């Protein structure tokens, strides 16, 4: 699989996973869109929009013969860095104990967040030749 095909497929997956349940509890789920449009919260909830935006830019850049607006390197690492900030760094900044952050990883994650996490890791570390 070449870089263009990989960028198109994984970019579309990032956009689609944004609309699936990211967190689930007792049968109720909240998608990425629900988290961004929810009332209350702080400015950090808008960081979630970086993930589908980078997926869309990857898809469009691949369709445009590899002419990426922000550069493919940045767009492939941005979803993973955003997830690391949202899931690990932000709770530590807010005062949650470092060990408790890692104990809570994976608990309550919905299918959308798992797909986004897996896709982000593949995008960041797998770069086939063009």
pLDDT tens track for 9-32? 999 999 999 999 998 877 788 889
Residue 130, domain member (yes or no): no
pLDDT category, 42, cuts 50, 70, 90?
confident
Residue 89, domain member (yes or no): yes
Residue 110, domain member (yes or no): yes
Residue 83, domain member (yes or no): yes
As for how many domains the chain has, the answer is 1
Residue 129, domain member (yes or no): no
pLDDT tens track for 55-76? 999 999 999 988 888 888 899 9
Q: Tell me the average pLDDT of the chain.
A: 90
- What is the DSSP track for 1-65? --HHHHHHHHHHHHHHHTTSEEEEETTEEEEHHHHHHSSS--GGGGGGGHHHHHHHHHHHHHHTT
Residue 118, domain member (yes or no): yes
Residue 82, domain member (yes or no): yes
Please give the residue range of the domain that contains residue 19. 3-124
């Amino acid at each position: 699989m070449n870089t263009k095909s990989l960028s198109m497929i994984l970019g579309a997956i990032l956009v689609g996973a944004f609309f699936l349940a990211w967190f689930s509890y007792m049968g109720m789920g909240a998608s990425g869109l629900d988290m961004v449009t929810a009332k209350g919260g702080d400015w950090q909830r808008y960081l979630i929009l970086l993930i589908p935006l980078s997926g869309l830019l990857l898809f469009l850049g691949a369709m445009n013969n590899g002419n990426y607006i922000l550069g493919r390197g940045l767009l492939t690492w941005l979803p993973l860095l955003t997830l690391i900030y949202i899931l690990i760094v932000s709770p530590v900044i807010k005062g949650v104990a470092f060990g408790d952050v890692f104990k809570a990883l994976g608990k309550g994650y919905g299918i959308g967040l798992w797909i986004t996490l897996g896709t982000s890791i593949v995008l960041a570390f797998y770069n086939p030749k063009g």
